[in-house]
Amino acid sequence: MKTGRDRDEWLDEYRGFKKYLNQCVMCQSTGYDPVKIQVKEGLYFKDKAMEHFHPLALNEIGLCLDCAERFEAIQGPGREA
């Protein structure tokens, strides 16, 4: 996965890609939505997206899997925030 300036330049060039990105509300990690990217047509687009970003699935409240585990450990299973 590329980071930094190259990734920013690619995002500036393909501004429409931002709708395929997810961002965790807790850690602010950014990655592509693995479900949305599968319905996107165009192998070049998918390959470049996967080169610049990692897959990032979010739960219903916008937390990545790592943050969701930490949040549940703090809150206790079954408790709402």
* Cα 71–Cα 58–Cα 19 angle in degrees, nearest 5: 145
Token pair listed for 16: 């429409």
Token pair listed for 25: 């509300």
- Answer yes or no: is 24 within a domain: yes
So what's the pLDDT on residue 61?
Answer: 94
So what's the pLDDT on residue 68?
Answer: 94
- Answer yes or no: is 30 within a domain: yes
So what's the pLDDT on residue 8?
Answer: 81
* Domain boundaries, position 15: 5-75
Contact 63, 26 (CB under 8 A): yes
Q: Tally the domains of the chain.
A: 1
- Answer yes or no: is 81 within a domain: no
Q: Tens of pLDDT along 43-77?
A: 777 887 788 889 999 999 999 999 999 999 988 76
- Answer yes or no: is 47 within a domain: yes
